[in-house]
Amino acid sequence: MDAFVQLDGLVAPLDRANVDTDQIIPKQYLKSIKRTGFGDYLFDAWRFLDQGTLGMTPNERQINREFSLNLPEYQGAAILIARDNFGCGSSREHAVWALKEFGFRAVIAPSFADIFFGNCFKNGVLPITLPADVVSSLFERVAAGLTLSIDLRTHTVTDGDQSYDFEIDPALKEKMLNGMDDIDLTLAEADLIRDFETGHRQRQPWLFRD
């Protein structure tokens, strides 16, 4: 997994609450059996005016010129700001794959849905929770070309002279900073799992079919 340590990036706005993962990446693109190839379809029904299918390129599509991510001032943005409960709904990790491939390495919102939040940490995309009034102030200034500096080591977002702390679970932070493979880390505890499993089988033998 890609590590996340520090990021200086341009901010793009998505001024909506309860953005669900069906909007982040619609269902017709979930038929792929790959982890890549989703960036072109990020926020598909909002970025484009026509209905897309897997395999189409943005050049073949009708661009929605009014949608924030299509505006010239936000091209190349690496940080997305959004409202409450970002990433709700379906567990599809394709949503995070699409955001990352499109170029976003961090999302800032007042709150996130649980499954999306966890999926971000599996892919080196940092979800940052900041108070709603701070996020609102970022929305007010984003059109002027806002860049932010995010440092995971100190868990701070720096906006010019202003700096905001964000909370992050220490264990998740550690994993993100090192970009370590989750499965390797868990398999290092294989003996612990086997010991548990032996006891579990004794306590609830009906759970084992072999």
9 is a contact residue toward other proteins (CB under 8 A): no
Indicate the residue among 85 and 156 with the shorter CB distance to other proteins: 85
Q: Which of residues 150-169 bind other proteins (CB under 8 A)?
A: 169
Q: Rg of the Cα trace of the chain?
A: 19
124 is a contact residue toward other proteins (CB under 8 A): no
Indicate the residue among 165 and 181 with the shorter CB distance to other proteins: 181
Q: Which of residues 94-113 bind other proteins (CB under 8 A)?
A: 94, 96, 111-113
Burial 34-71 (b: 16+ CB within 10 A, else e): eeeebbbbbbbebbbeeebeeebeeeebeebeebbbbe
84 exposed, middle or buried (CB, 10 Å; 0-12, 13-18, 19+)? middle
Tokens of 36: 């890549």
197 is a contact residue toward other proteins (CB under 8 A): yes
Indicate the residue among 158 and 173 with the shorter CB distance to other proteins: 173
| Cβ 73 to other proteins shortest distance, Å | 22
